[in-house]
């Protein structure tokens, strides 16, 4: 049942681009789903949030393929939940597994997908446009199912041997990853601040910080405050636009 559950989670995670950049394959999402499977949602979310800190800055630039956060996140979290490991072990496992996922995807992009593209071109040349278009769907589904099968098989093969591998890791590396785990939230916050480094957005960041730090408001309360501010700003901007339209009409007359 665990293997089947991991296959289903991997199937959903690998469909994130197919579903319109839905981000359902991010570790924070797959960690929650795996937490349900292993009956420990809190630890699943904790592991997912920890891995999210390292994967949020990894993105494909040009033709490069970054480490696969779906495979790395799912297997690292699953192994950690299965064997009772903490975030530092999940962090140690995530990047090597994600790198293997990247290699598997590169093999698809280099060896399999070009053949499908040439087949689609051949079908289009022969006037079979529907079949040519369907080749794109076949390529997408091939990657989704193949990467999901890899995730399920890797868990089935590795779940019994992962403890031996972890015990072979020197304690100094585990301790170093534990320290790095504590620094990752600060790194993630710094990256988010850099993304919203705008005079238009930064005041809202400061407001959220004040509400959370000095007023001890939880995330739901802060989100509700944000919704209220958004609605008020929408109404104000809408009234300003109406006023400008009226002024422009008066100027024309």
- CB-based contact 169:93 (threshold 8 Å): no
Size (the chain), residues: 253
Cα(79)–Cα(96) distance, integer angstroms: 13
Share of the chain above pLDDT 90, in %: 5
Residues contacting residue 149 through CB under 8 Å, at least 6 positions apart:
7
Same domain (yes/no): 60, 109: yes
Q: Which of 114, 146, 175 lies at the terminal end of a domain, its last residue? A: 175
Same domain (yes/no): 220, 150: no
**Span 41-88, pLDDT tens digits:** 898 898 888 888 777 766 655 455 677 888 888 888 888 888 888 887
Instruction: Calculate mean pLDDT across residues 27-32.
Output: 89
Residue ranges making up the domain that contains 20: 2-175
Instruction: Calculate mean pLDDT across residues 246-253.
Output: 65
188 lies in some domain: no
18 lies in some domain: yes
On the 0-12 / 13-18 / 19+ scale of CB atoms within 10 A, 183 is exposed
**Span 173-209, pLDDT tens digits:** 767 766 665 665 666 677 667 766 777 788 888 888 8
Same domain (yes/no): 105, 218: no
How many structural domains comprise the chain? 2
């Amino acid at each position: 049942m665990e293997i089947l559950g991991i296959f289903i989670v991997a199937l959903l995670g690998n469909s994130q681009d197919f579903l319109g950049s839905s981000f359902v394959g991010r570790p924070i999402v797959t960690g929650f789903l795996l937490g349900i499977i292993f009956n420990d949602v809190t630890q699943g979310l904790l592991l997912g949030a920890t891995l999210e800190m390292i994967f949020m800055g990894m993105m494909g630039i040009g033709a490069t393929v970054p480490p696969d956060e779906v495979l790395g996140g799912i297997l690292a979290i699953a192994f950690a939940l299965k064997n009772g490991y903490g975030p530092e072990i999940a962090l140690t496992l995530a990047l090597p597994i994600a790198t293997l996922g990247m290699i598997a995807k590169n093999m698809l992009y280099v060896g399999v997908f070009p053949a499908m593209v040439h087949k689609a071109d051949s079908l289009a040349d022969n006037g079979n446009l529907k079949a040519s278009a369907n080749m794109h769907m076949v390529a997408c589904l091939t990657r989704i199912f193949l990467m999901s099968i890899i995730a399920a098989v890797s868990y089935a093969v590795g779940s019994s041997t992962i403890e031996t591998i972890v015990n072979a890791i020197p304690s100094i590396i585990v301790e170093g990853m534990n320290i790095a785990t504590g620094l990752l939230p600060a790194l993630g916050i710094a990256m988010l601040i850099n993304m919203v480094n705008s005079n238009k957005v930064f005041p809202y960041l400061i407001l959220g910080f004040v509400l959370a730090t000095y007023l001890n408001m939880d995330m739901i309360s802060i989100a509700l405050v944000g919704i209220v501010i958004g609605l008020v700003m929408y109404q104000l901007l809408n009234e300003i636009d109406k006023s400008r339209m009226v002024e422009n009409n008066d100027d024309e007359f």
